[in-house]
Structure 1
Amino acid sequence: MKVFVIGANGQIGRHLVRMLQESNEHTVKAMVRKQEQKQSFEQSGVEAVVADLEGAVGDLAQAMKGFDAVVFTAGSGGQTGADKTLLIDLDGAVKTVEAAEKAGVDRYVMVSAHQAHNRDNWNEKIRHYYVAKHYADRIVEDSRLKYTVIRPGGLLNEPGKGKVTAAENLQRGSIPREDVAKTIVASLNDEHTQNRSFDLISGEDDIEEAVKKI
């Protein structure tokens, strides 16, 4: 499968690109924001393209044309204001859904946020972030794409354990970013995850088995 990764230079994205590059089943193209990031990926043998989530849908469609799957793991980051969150995490994400449809892509994986579908469980301090994730998820779920929406808990910068719990509704928990990336790969590999959305935290199940239980 040819996989186009949006947000490839992010913390989850870098894990994901490495895993796909090392895989015998997939090839990967990294979408980044800066020329120096593109050069860095290319130096490690990864095809890369500079593109802008605030740019035109047609430009994004052209960048992902010929690919089988798109993974959205981009974000404006915690240091930006609510305006940038809406431009990247909401409108930018929606543009990539529109672009994927326009480019004839079949498969789409969205990295969202824990309980983004459930307004009662949103963190009031970053409510704008949850609004962005909630509506971006709804757009991809209403699209013609074979989607998977992964809603990870608190993200940790520590080695992955390879053990998770995945379900439609889970109590709050945390998970290493590396395990989120592994779950994305497992979701791409397993047709059972198509047209499904789920919370994801560290747990007791092997990742490949966890996604089969969704």
Structure 2
Amino acid sequence: MDIALIGGHGKVALLAAPLLVEAGHTVHSVIRNPEHAGDVEATGAQAVLSDIETLDAGGWDDLLRGRDAVVWAAGAGGGNPERTVAVDQDAAIASMDAAQRVGAERYLMVSYFGASLDHGVPEDNPFHAYAEAKARADEHLRGSELTWTILGPSGLTLEEPTGRIDLTAVESGTVSRGNVARTIVAALARPATAGKFLTYNDGEQEIGEAFDAVR
């Protein structure tokens, strides 16, 4: 597949890109800062300069035209509520709409374990803006005509990846970013993950085996 990897200089994206390339995909990693191009291209991906916060519909169409799939791994980090809404909600939704318009039918969203419109995060909690933005973006994706998968990793760590997760977890724990990168590759390779919200922690089951069991 020809993949647009949005948020290409993020920690997860930089780990996912070489795995996607190794799996035979062409990866266009979308970044805002030209100084990050070297890091991206060292993964085997092609760096694409674009500011997703300012793109209009035509700009999104141009960015995604010719791609087979979109992997959303971008995030504003939650520090600035206005920017969080602009990136995690508005830009994400704009990318979904553009993907439908230009025929990039496969869409994989990296969300988080507790993402839901019923997230229960109080408005005075700094995490509220992020929880709202992710929930609204995820809900828009579910209502689209795209072949979508939403990944819900738990708390992210910088631990070395084990290649093993718990896809049956009912409570959020932790998962290495390296394992999240591996779940991106695994989900894209398995059509049965389409239409699923898959939550997971680090665990004992090999990632491929866990995703093979998704029905």
> Normalising by structure 1, what TM-score?
0.92
Matched residue pairs, number?
211
Q: Which residue of 2 aligns with 1:5?
A: 5
Deviations 1:104-156, CA, capped at 9 Å, x for gaps = 11100000111112625547441111111111000011101000000110000
Identity %, equivalent residues: 32
Query: Which residues of 2 match residues 9-158 of structure 1 at below 5 A?
Result: 9-23=9-23, 25-42=24-41, 45-54=44-53, 55-78=55-78, 80-117=79-116, 119-120=118-119, 122=121, 124-158=125-159
Contact map agreement 1:113 1:130 (CA 8 A) in 2? no
Per-residue CA distance 1:30-60 (angstroms, 9 max, x = gap): 1001122234434664312111222212212
**Alignment CA distance shift 1:173-1:43 (3 Å):** closer
Partner-residue secondary structure (3-state), 1:77: coil
Tell me: CA distance 1:14–1:40, structure 2 relative to 1, closer, same or farther (3 Å).
closer
Task: Tell me, in whole angstroms, the C-alpha distance in 2 between the residues paired with 1:29 and 1:81.
Answer: 27
For each residue in 1:1-53, what CA deviation from the matched residue of structure 2 results, as whole angstroms up to 9, or x when unmatched?
11110011000010011111222x31111100112223443466431211122
Asked if the contact 2:6/2:73 (under 8 Å) is kept, the reply is yes
**Structure 2 length-normalised TM:** 0.91
Structure 1 unaligned segments of length 5 or more: list them. none
User: Which residue identity lines up with residue 109 of structure 1 in the other structure?
Assistant: L
SS at 1:52's partner residue? coil
Cα separation, 2, equivalents of 1:127 and 1:7: 21
Amino acid in the other structure paired with 1:27? T
Aligned partners of 1:60, 1:190: CA distance in 2, in Å? 26
Give the ranges of 4+ consecutive aligned residues of structure 1 lying more than 3 Å apart after TM superposition.
42-45, 120-125
| Partner SS, residue 119 of structure 1 | coil
Aligned amino acid, residue 130 of structure 1:
A
For 1:95 and 1:52, locate their aligned partners in 2 and report how far apart those are by CA, in whole Å: 13
1:203 aligns with 2:198: no
Q: Which runs of 5+ in 2 are unaligned?
A: none
Q: What is the RMSD computed on CA atoms of the aligned residues?
A: 1.8
SS of 2:127's equivalent in the other structure is helix
Verify the 8 A CA contact 2:117 2:136 in the aligned structure 1: no
Contact 1:116 1:122 survives alignment (8 Å): no
- Letter aligned with residue 26 of structure 1: H
Asked whether the equivalents of residues 152 and 201 of structure 1 are also in contact (C-alpha less than 8 Å), the reply is yes
Distance 1:178 1:17 in 2: 11
